[in-house]
Structure 1
Amino acid sequence: MFTKIEHGPLMDRVYRHQRHFYDATRKYYLLGRDPMIAGLNPPERGSILEIGCGTGRNLILTGDTYPKTLLYGIDISNEMLATAHKKIDAAGLGKRVHLAYADAAAFDPQALFTRRHFDRIFISYAVSMIPQWQTVVHEAVSHLAPNGSLHIVDFGDLADLPLIARKALYTWLDWYHVTPRNELFDVAEVVAAKNNATVHKQRLYRGFSWITTIRRKST
């Protein structure tokens, strides 16, 4: 398990200044976020949790897309959470969105939000920054309600991109402590098999982005 001491301060250092212009720059290459949110399809009054909620950008879009849902977000960066609170309040969603500082590899939603399960959980471009990302995937699925689903979008294997572009992108991502998880689809299959769940996999933009959905069965 990664700890707040090891990972939280690192994320605060990375995003202390970036958080102010993060959304304006990331929209050009964090591809697949909006299609992932469009595919959540939660129950009308369902609950949605974002793990690694960052600036709150995705929660705001999710709130606008599904206006009757309850929204929750956790992050290990206090810097990002400060920005998220401001943006969510400015969007008029302060009463619907509940945020908390938490370690995604081991968190207690009952203690944080007084609820045990969520109808939908999503992780947007965070597993590539979390050292114990496989633990996070297992943890997230354990907090799904029956028929609930976990949706993950992140960098793919970039396999169909030109070699020079692929090498340049890997170098650039490394500067920001980002590591594409080429095993994501395989790990999703393992997690699903252990949790009576199914998996749907989608490759976008020549392998630049991957979306995987793990859906728990009703029983």
Structure 2
Amino acid sequence: MAGGEQGADQKRLMDGVYAFHRHIYDFTRKFYLIGRDLLIRELDVPRGGTVLEVGCGTARNLILTAKRFPDCRLYGFDISEAMLETARKSVAKHGLSDRITLAQGDAGAFDLQTLFGLAQVDRVFMSYTLSMIPPWVEAIELGAKALAPGGSLHIVDFGQYERLPGFAKRLHFKSLNDFHVFPRRELPAVLKRIAGEQGLSMEFRSLWRGYFWRASLIRPAG
């Protein structure tokens, strides 16, 4: 399937899934999307820096990042217009429309210049996004290429429950799959490959006995 057709299909799917769930998304997800706030704390955005969230959803993470790092400019995009409608309202409600810019875009084929008029950014993050999008490998590759010198890409997503009981993994993964969420077993290997190809360093942690994985790719400053 051509990339444009795949993106259009994914947009229709996500708009359908979140037509209702966007209204209760932040309340319900706080109970099991663990590690999002840890990611935000560790972004360490430089003064006056730029931050991009791939798959920004309701803009919950962008808003928290803006409050934690008050000197940065933030950008986010999502394939779902339904989620973006909620995101725009939330950003405006928090008085952050002058610092957070939102756009509709496909994580597997995005272009910073086209979406936001930017050549590169200091930080990119993906919070429980990769397990929801078919072109997840392309999203990482493009996110890494968007990094300025000294920039870093940060990921948090479901792990593989490596040190949890097998029945817990089966039950939870079944519930996730029902909502088109598929934890990416190949993530460490993909990150290692991309780091090697783009000359990046890599950090990887399995937390909460493998419930969630936390990873970073860092571009050298020089």
TM > 0.5 fold call: yes
Aligned position for 2:27 = 24
Residue correspondence of structure 1 range 56-205 to structure 2 within 5 A: 56-205=59-208
Give the whole-Å Cα distance in 2 for the aligned partners of 1:95 and 1:131: 32
1:114 deviates by: 1.2
TM-score w.r.t. the length of structure 1 is 0.98
Q: Is the Cα–Cα contact under 8 Å of residues 160 and 169 in structure 2 kept in the other structure? A: no
1:218 deviates by: 2.5
Note if 1:214 corresponds to 2:217: yes
TM-score w.r.t. the length of structure 2 is 0.96
Unaligned 5+ residue runs, structure 2?
none
CA deviations 1:52-77 (Å, max 9, x no partner) are: 00001000100011011000001000
Give the whole-Å Cα distance in 1 for the aligned partners of 2:48 and 2:164: 41
Q: Percent identity?
A: 44
Give the whole-Å Cα distance in 2 for the aligned partners of 1:134 and 1:4: 14
Q: CA RMSD in A?
A: 0.9
Q: Does the residue aligned with 1:71 lie in a helix, a strand or coil?
A: strand
Q: Does the residue aligned with 1:210 lie in a helix, a strand or coil?
A: strand
CA deviations 1:89-146 (Å, max 9, x no partner) are: 1011111000000111111211221111000000000100111101110011111101
Aligned position for 1:35 = 38
1:4 deviates by: 2.8
Give the whole-Å Cα distance in 2 for the aligned partners of 1:62 and 1:70: 10
Residue identity matched to 2:34 = L
